[in-house]
């Protein structure tokens, strides 16, 4: 009897022990997680409660000191670059390990390994886009052609890995504990993957959508509604710029025509509107101190842990400070004692699609220039948590991966679209940043940029010498007019890119007469630039607001630049609303109930600012959305992706051709005009507002747009900040929309005594249990900054703590 | 009663001293061994080991919580669908009790297998 009793209890005990270490569905392993010695409780410590004053790091040539300021910003003081980047790797991993690994897993299409089968579709898309393929190509290239970069990438990886090797389970970042997996070794390859992750986040194309549109509305209407240049073009490089080079030839082949069948594939998710950035620099002639001032605020998806991580990196010969991307070496947007730089996304169609004709279903050969060419196969093994691996075969042509085919997002056997993208090519973007970090002048900046391929950026520059500059840099394909705007015929060599625009012919300017340089993702140039430039997503509002303000400003101080980054003027509303109001039928509104009249009065007296407490931006936003939908939703067909005209062209049409037949919906009996649609949408807006008021009394702008800083795992809502009280919006300089906005704001005054300021929505720590996880968020939401000026090793009066790395 | 007290103290020390370096299932084995060696009767082994383990875990969690003043317990409670972070503290304690008591009982019952009936 006692044997049976023992056996039973023994089994129950073992069963309990095993059960508590297992994950059931989304329920994490409770024993491991709740154990106060090992589980989540251990992640409650902020970094300043738990640090080493000294520790040993292998492979250092000298001692390295790291001093943290009150915001947990590390200042690394090393003797040489190799020591510096080794410690950068270690320190970054200490605060952001989970995030840096997760982002590279995302870029490699490995999310299913962590979260299970829900991510297979996402991973397939990532892999079919060829991000890992691109990173592998670049790795081989860097190993062979840039051993100096490779050595530093390895040093960084070694620093990360030494941190991981000595990491007990109790100190694992909490996400590992909840999702029940372990960090793996870092490598140079992963740093390159991270840069591909950025390319993926920032590059967009709508070739397939445009192909459908052209078939649907015809080339003439397409050109009218989607012109290559807008009427109020206010480009990045000032229009006065003279292009003093002999351009390469790029003539449209005679008699060429694009494939014209309709495309029914479920196209990939594109970066949402609102991803974009501002940067500018003003010359000493326009500033109070006489020194140039540079500002940068990249608008990206607002996430926690924060995308950016601020550091100062000092060697015996150089000190640089600013925002790093955890996983990449050096500072990405920042300054040293001589120069400052920052980036915005340079929109350009660097991603093109080719329709491939295979010989048979095996797809081992495809037709090109009238001969059969061999394709290659890349088998992607997607490991899936809790299930067998998913195998996906991706066919590669000389253009690149066949993304859409019978196995992926298309039901038709004859769909084979191959993607050609500059991000697949050999490149060493990392070198650009390594060189910028120690750059001393304009020549160094240009030299650094020459290594930069993708994602193309507008690099702003200012120097202690008084120079300001801007360069649109990326590896840009040389295209004939219209090339790559639509799906191209993969059989016909005439559709091949003709080559690349030489770096020195990329749009750039140095010390323009207007005394400032600026970019906000708008058109790079005016039509006089001798190359064909096309992109779908150029900005039309922030650029004009920014340039008009910079033109009229003088005696500028860093404070003025901060105010400009936080500028809430809604230029689109200021242009569209007067038209909408003028076409609104006052008699109809007069017969409406009180709320309709009240809303109208509010809109009539609006100052066009989008501060968080204002109600008018909400009214305008809803009215605009209803109107826009009323005008264009008729173009949509289920299953056939297209792209609708942007708000700039829509506003222009409302203003200039209110009676245009484009407003009419042929499916209805009556003839719609701008006027009728404006009136109908106003009534819809009033109805919607009443609904909103019933659910949620407060319809102030902040409460309506609900800016949210979400944890990278969307389910982890309690690690996120939802409904942050802040103003701005898409198309506004303070471009804080629901999920996107200034992910980093920086203002730097050059010269002796120049100060630098920065802020981002989050904090230095990646640990949701730390007080440094989100301590900067409130300041960010209020438009405040922290001092990020370069500090010398003995200038710290009251450091948070410091760590000495012994060799 | 004396044996139960010794068991209580030893298990608490085990959790405090070995816990930081080993996962909970190693502690479970440890508890069983200690209970085996002490050889208390089943009921006292069960309750003493359970209370010791559970209270030590709760004490540790409470200590960390007070010392760090972190928002993490609140965030974790919300993530796990609990209204109140105190529930998480009790959850930790109850889980500790279960782990400790069953391991203790296993140990004491094993001892019985080797004891001759008097």
pLDDT, tens digit, 9 for 90 and up, residues A6-57:
888 889 988 888 888 888 777 788 899 999 999 999 999 999 998 999 999 9
Looking at the predicted structure, is the pLDDT value of residue B117 above 60? no
pLDDT, tens digit, 9 for 90 and up, residues A266-291:
676 665 665 679 999 999 999 999 99
Pairing label, strands A371-374, A457-463: unpaired
User: What is the model's pLDDT at position A329?
Assistant: 97
Q: Which of residues 15-44 of B touch A (CB under 8 A)?
A: 15, 19-21, 23-25, 28, 32
Q: What's the CA gap between A123 and A205, in Å, rounded?
A: 20
Phi, psi angle pair for A137, to nearest 5°: -60, -45
CA distances from A610 to A428, A547, A563, A622, A679 (A): 41, 19, 14, 14, 24
User: What is the model's pLDDT at position A553?
Assistant: 96
User: What is the model's pLDDT at position A630?
Assistant: 93
Contact B79 A178 (CB under 8 A): yes
Q: Which of residues 729-748 of A touch B (CB under 8 A)?
A: none
pLDDT, tens digit, 9 for 90 and up, residues A620-639:
999 999 999 999 999 888 77
Q: What's the CA gap between A424 and A497, in Å, rounded?
A: 14
Contact B19 A32 (CB under 8 A): no
pLDDT, tens digit, 9 for 90 and up, residues A365-382:
999 999 999 999 999 999
Residue A420 CA neighbour count, 13 Å, CB half:
24
**What is the mean pLDDT of the segment spanning B32-42?**
89
Q: Is-contact A131 A62, C-beta < 8 A?
A: no
Percent of chain A with pLDDT over 70: 98
Q: What's the CA gap between A109 and A121, in Å, rounded?
A: 10
Looking at the predicted structure, is the pLDDT value of residue A243 above 80? yes
pLDDT, tens digit, 9 for 90 and up, residues A699-728:
999 999 999 999 999 889 999 999 999 999
Percent of chain A with pLDDT over 90: 78
User: Is A802 touching B (CB cutoff 8 A)?
Assistant: no
Contact B64 A21 (CB under 8 A): no
Rg (CA), chain A: 28
Looking at the predicted structure, is the pLDDT value of residue B38 above 70? yes
pLDDT, tens digit, 9 for 90 and up, residues A647-656:
999 999 999 9
User: Is A8 touching B (CB cutoff 8 A)?
Assistant: no
Provide the mean pLDDT of chain A. 92
Write down how long chain B is: 118
Q: Is-contact A366 A490, C-beta < 8 A?
A: yes
Q: Which of residues 261-300 of A touch B (CB under 8 A)?
A: none
The 10 Å Cβ neighbour count of residue A514 is 16
Residue in A with minimal Cα distance to B94: A34
- The band of A550, judged by pLDDT with boundaries at 50, 70 and 90, is very high
Looking at the predicted structure, is the pLDDT value of residue A74 above 90? yes
Q: For A546-623, list the strands marked E by DSSP.
A: none
Residues of A in contact with B95 (CB under 8 A): 20, 30-31, 34
- Which of A13, A30, A768 lies at the smallest CB-CB distance from B28? A13
User: Is A795 touching B (CB cutoff 8 A)?
Assistant: no
Domain boundary assignment for chain B: 2-114
User: Is A711 touching B (CB cutoff 8 A)?
Assistant: no
Looking at the predicted structure, is the pLDDT value of residue A732 above 50? yes
Q: What are A701's two structure tokens?
A: 């702008």
- The band of A640, judged by pLDDT with boundaries at 50, 70 and 90, is confident
DSSP annotation of A464 reads T
Helix-strand-coil split of chain A, %, nearest 5: 35, 20, 45
User: Is B105 touching A (CB cutoff 8 A)?
Assistant: yes
Contact A769 B23 (CB under 8 A): no
User: What is the model's pLDDT at position A201?
Assistant: 84
- Nearest partner of A751 among A86, A291, A389, judged by Cα: A291
- Nearest partner of A122 among A98, A97, A136, A102, judged by Cα: A102
User: What is the model's pLDDT at position B63?
Assistant: 95
User: Is A713 touching B (CB cutoff 8 A)?
Assistant: no
User: What is the model's pLDDT at position B118?
Assistant: 46
Residues of B in contact with A49 (CB under 8 A): 67-68
pLDDT, tens digit, 9 for 90 and up, residues A335-360:
999 999 999 999 899 999 999 999 98
pLDDT, tens digit, 9 for 90 and up, residues A588-600:
777 778 888 899 9
- Nearest partner of A200 among A265, A140, A128, judged by Cα: A128
Looking at the predicted structure, is the pLDDT value of residue A154 above 50? yes
pLDDT, tens digit, 9 for 90 and up, residues A167-188:
999 999 999 999 999 999 999 9
User: What is the model's pLDDT at position A275?
Assistant: 67
């Amino acid at each position: 009897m006692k044997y049976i009793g023992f056996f039973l209890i023994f089994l129950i005990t073992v069963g309990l022990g095993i059960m508590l270490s297992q994950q059931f569905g989304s329920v994490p392993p409770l024993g491991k997680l709740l154990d106060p010695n090992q589980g989540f409780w251990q992640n409650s410590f902020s970094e300043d409660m738990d640090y080493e004053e000294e520790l040993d790091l292998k492979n250092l040539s000298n001692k390295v000191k790291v001093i943290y300021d009150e915001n947990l910003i590390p200042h690394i003081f090393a003797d040489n670059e190799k020591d510096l980047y080794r410690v950068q790797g270690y320190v970054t991993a200490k605060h952001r390990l989970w995030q840096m690994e997760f982002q590279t897993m995302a870029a490699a299409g490995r999310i299913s390994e962590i979260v299970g089968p829900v991510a297979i579709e996402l991973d397939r898309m990532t892999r079919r886009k060829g991000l890992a393929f691109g990173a592998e190509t670049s790795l081989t290239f860097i190993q062979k052609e840039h051993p100096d970069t490779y050595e530093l990438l390895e040093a960084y990886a070694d620093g990360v890995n030494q941190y991981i090797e000595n990491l007990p389970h109790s100190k694992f970042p909490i996400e590992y504990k909840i999702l029940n997996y372990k960090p793996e070794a870092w490598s140079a390859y992963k740093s390159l993957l991270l840069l591909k992750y950025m390319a993926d986040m920032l590059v967009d194309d709508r070739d397939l959508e445009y192909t459908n549109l052209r078939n649907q509305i015809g080339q003439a209407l397409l050109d009218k509604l989607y012109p290559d240049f807008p009427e109020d073009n206010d480009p990045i490089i000032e229009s006065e710029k003279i292009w003093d080079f002999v351009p390469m030839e790029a003539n449209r082949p005679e008699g060429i025509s694009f494939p014209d069948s309709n495309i029914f594939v479920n196209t990939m998710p594109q970066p949402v509107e609102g991803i974009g950035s501002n940067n500018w620099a003003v010359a000493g002639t326009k500033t109070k101190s006489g020194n140039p001032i540079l500002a940068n605020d990249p608008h990206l998806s607002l996430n926690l842990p924060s995308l950016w991580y601020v550091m100062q990196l000092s060697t015996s010969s150089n000190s640089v400070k600013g925002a790093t991307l955890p996983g990449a070496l050096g500072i990405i947007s920042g300054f040293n004692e001589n120069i400052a730089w920052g980036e915005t996304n340079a929109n350009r169609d660097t991603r093109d699609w080719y329709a491939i004709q295979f010989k048979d279903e095996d797809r081992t050969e495809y037709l090109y220039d009238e001969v059969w060419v061999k394709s290659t196969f890349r088998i992607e093994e997607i490991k899936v948590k809790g299930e067998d691996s998913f195998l996906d075969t991706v066919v590669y042509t000389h253009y690149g991966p066949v993304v859409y085919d019978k196995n992926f997002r298309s039901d038709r056997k004859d769909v084979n679209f191959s993607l050609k993208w500059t991000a697949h090519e050999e490149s060493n973007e990392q070198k650009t940043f390594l060189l910028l970090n120690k750059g001393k002048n304009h020549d160094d900046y240009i030299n650094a940029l020459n290594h930069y391929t993708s994602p193309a950026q507008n690099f702003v520059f200012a120097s202690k010498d008084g120079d300001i500059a801007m360069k649109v840099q990326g590896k840009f394909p040389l295209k004939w007019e219209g090339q790559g705007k639509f799906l191209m015929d993969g059989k016909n060599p005439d559709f091949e890119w003709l080559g690349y625009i030489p770096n020195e012919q990329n749009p750039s300017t140095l010390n323009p007469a207007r005394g400032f340089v600026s970019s906000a993702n708008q058109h790079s140039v005016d039509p006089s630039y001798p190359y064909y430039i096309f992109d779908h997503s150029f900005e039309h509002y922030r650029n004009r607001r920014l340039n008009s303000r910079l033109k009229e400003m003088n005696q500028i101080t860093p404070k003025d630049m901060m105010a400009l980054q936080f500028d809430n003027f809604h230029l689109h509303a200021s242009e569209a609303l007067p038209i909408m109001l003028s076409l609104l039928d006052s008699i109809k509104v007069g017969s409406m109930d009180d709320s309709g009249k009240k809303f109208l009065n509010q809109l009539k007296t609006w100052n066009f600012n989008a501060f968080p407490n204002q109600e008018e931006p909400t009214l305008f936003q809803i009215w605009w959305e209803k109107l826009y939908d009323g005008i264009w939703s008729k173009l949509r067909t289920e299953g056939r992706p297209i792209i609708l005209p942007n708000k700039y062209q829509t506003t222009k049409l409302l203003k200039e051709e209110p009676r245009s037949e484009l407003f009419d919906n042929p499916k209805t009996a009556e003839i719609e005009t701008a006027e009728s649609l404006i009136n109908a949408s106003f009534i819809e807006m009033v109805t919607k507002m009443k609904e909103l008021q019933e659910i949620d009394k407060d319809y102030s702008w902040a409460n309506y747009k609900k800016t949210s800083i979400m944890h990278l795992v969307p389910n982890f809502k309690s690690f996120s900040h939802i409904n942050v009280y802040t103003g701005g919006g898409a198309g506004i300089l303070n471009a804080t929309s629901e999920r996107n906005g200034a992910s980093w704001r920086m203002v730097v005054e050059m010269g002796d005594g120049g100060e630098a300021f920065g802020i981002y929505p989050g904090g230095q720590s990646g640990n949701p249990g730390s007080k440094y996880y989100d301590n900067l968020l409130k300041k960010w939401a209020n438009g405040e900054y922290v001092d990020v000026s370069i500090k010398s090793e003995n200038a710290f009066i009251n450091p948070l703590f410091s760590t000495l790395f012994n060799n | 009663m004396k044996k139960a007290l010794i068991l209580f103290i030893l298990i608490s020390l085990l959790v405090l001293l070995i816990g930081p370096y080993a996962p909970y299932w190693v502690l479970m084995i440890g508890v069983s061994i200690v209970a085996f060696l002490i050889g208390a009767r089943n009921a006292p082994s069960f309750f003493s080991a359970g209370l010791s383990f559970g209270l030590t875990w709760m004490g540790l969690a409470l200590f960390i919580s007070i010392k760090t003043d972190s928002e993490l317990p609140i965030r974790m409670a919300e993530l796990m669908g609990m209204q109140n972070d105190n529930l998480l503290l009790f959850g930790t304690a109850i889980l500790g009790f279960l782990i400790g008591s069953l391991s203790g009982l296993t140990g004491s019952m094993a001892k019985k297998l080797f004891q001759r009936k008097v």
